[in-house]
Structure 1
Amino acid sequence: MTDAVAGFLDPALPLWDPEADDVLVVRQVRDETRDVRTFVMSPREPRRFSYRPGQFLTLELTLGGETINRCYTISSAPTRPGTVSITVKRVPGGPVSNHLHDTLKVGSEIRAVGPMGDFTFVEHPARKYLFLSGGSGITPLMSMARSLHDLSDPRDVVFVHAARSPADIIFRNELELMARNMAAFRFAPVCEADAAAERWTGYGGRLSLPMLKLIAPDLMEREVFVCGPAPFMAAVRAMLTEAGFDMARHHEESFDFGELARAEPEVAAEVEAAVDTGVKTYRVEFTKSKKVIEVAEDAFILETARKAGMRLPASCTKGMCGTCKSKVVSGSVDMKHAGGIRQREIDQGMVLICCSRPTSDLVIEK
Structure 2
Amino acid sequence: MSQFKDIKFWQDSEPLECVTRTPEAPNVVTFSFRSPSGALFNHDPGQFVTLELPVPGGPLYRTYTISSSPSRPTALTVTVKAQDGSLGTRWMLDHLHKGMKIRAVGPAGRFSIINHPARKYLFISAGSGITPMVAMTTWLYDSGQEPDIVFVNAAKRPSEIILRQRMELMASRIVGIDLKWVVEEADPFSPWTGYRGMLNQVMLGLMAPDYLDREVFCCGPEPFMRAVREALEALGFDMAHYHQESFSAEPAEAEIVPADNFPVADLEAEVVFADSGVSTRCAQTDTLVSAAKAAGVPLAVGCSMGLCGTCKVRKLEGDVHMVHNGGITDEDVAEGYVLACCSKPLGRVVIEA
Correspondence 1:14 to 2:20: no
- Structure 1 residues 32 and 282, CA, compared in 2 at 3 Å: closer, same or farther? same
Deviations 1:36-86 (A, max 9, x none): 100000111111111110001111122223222211100001011000000
Paired residues of 2:284 and 2:346 also in contact (CA < 8 A)? no
Correspondence 1:315 to 2:291: no
Q: Cα distance, 1:272 vs. partner? A: 4.2
Match of 1:213 in 2: 205
Match of 1:116 in 2: 108
| TM-score normalised over the length of structure 1 | 0.76
What letter matches 2:33 in structure 1?
M
- Structure 1 residues 51 and 205, CA, compared in 2 at 3 Å: closer, same or farther? same
Paired residues of 1:54 and 1:143 also in contact (CA < 8 A)? yes
Q: d(CA) in 1 for partners of 2:116 and 2:338?
A: 32
1:353 to 340, 343, 347: 340
SS in 1 for 2:59: strand
Match of 1:56 in 2: 48
Q: d(CA) in 1 for partners of 2:188 and 2:317?
A: 57
Q: Cα distance, 1:91 vs. partner? A: 1.4
Q: Cα distance, 1:177 vs. partner? A: 1.9
Paired residues of 2:10 and 2:42 also in contact (CA < 8 A)? no
Q: Cα distance, 1:361 vs. partner? A: 4.9
Correspondence 1:338 to 2:300: no
Paired residues of 1:50 and 1:78 also in contact (CA < 8 A)? yes
Structure with more of its chain in helix, by fraction? 1
Q: d(CA) in 1 for partners of 2:244 and 2:81?
A: 20
Q: d(CA) in 1 for partners of 2:150 and 2:84?
A: 31
Paired residues of 1:49 and 1:82 also in contact (CA < 8 A)? yes
2:283 to 278, 294, 306: 294
5 Å matches for 1:186-265?
186-256=178-248
Q: In percent, how many aligned pairs have the same letter?
A: 39
Q: d(CA) in 2 for partners of 1:76 and 1:164?
A: 24
- Structure 1 residues 165 and 51, CA, compared in 2 at 3 Å: closer, same or farther? same
Paired residues of 2:151 and 2:179 also in contact (CA < 8 A)? yes
Q: d(CA) in 2 for partners of 1:303 and 1:203?
A: 46
What letter matches 2:4 in structure 1?
P
Q: d(CA) in 2 for partners of 1:78 and 1:149?
A: 12
Q: Cα distance, 1:136 vs. partner? A: 0.3
SS in 2 for 1:66: coil
SS in 2 for 1:10: helix
Match of 2:158 in 1: 166
Q: d(CA) in 2 for partners of 1:316 and 1:133?
A: 23
- Structure 1 residues 358 and 319, CA, compared in 2 at 3 Å: closer, same or farther? farther
Paired residues of 1:301 and 1:358 also in contact (CA < 8 A)? yes
What letter matches 1:223 in structure 2?
E
Paired residues of 2:19 and 2:33 also in contact (CA < 8 A)? yes
Q: d(CA) in 2 for partners of 1:145 and 1:238?
A: 25
Deviations 1:162-194 (A, max 9, x none): 000000011112211222212121000100001
Match of 1:45 in 2: 37
Q: d(CA) in 1 for partners of 2:40 and 2:196?
A: 41
List runs of 5+ in structure 2 lacking aligned partners: 252-261, 273-279, 293-299
Q: d(CA) in 2 for partners of 1:234 and 1:65?
A: 35
Task: Give the root-mean-square deviation of aligned CA atoms.
Answer: 3.6
Q: d(CA) in 2 for partners of 1:229 and 1:37?
A: 19
What letter matches 2:158 in structure 1?
P
1:143 to 121, 128, 135: 135
5 Å matches for 1:77-156?
77-156=69-148
Deviations 1:310-351 (A, max 9, x none): xx96526336431x57999xx966578727xx9xxxxxxx97
Paired residues of 1:25 and 1:108 also in contact (CA < 8 A)? yes
- Tell me the matched-pair count: 319
Q: Cα distance, 1:357 vs. partner? A: 4.1
Q: Cα distance, 1:355 vs. partner? A: 4.7
Q: d(CA) in 1 for partners of 2:139 and 2:209?
A: 25
| TM-score normalised over the length of structure 2 | 0.79
What letter matches 2:309 in structure 1?
C
Paired residues of 2:263 and 2:344 also in contact (CA < 8 A)? no
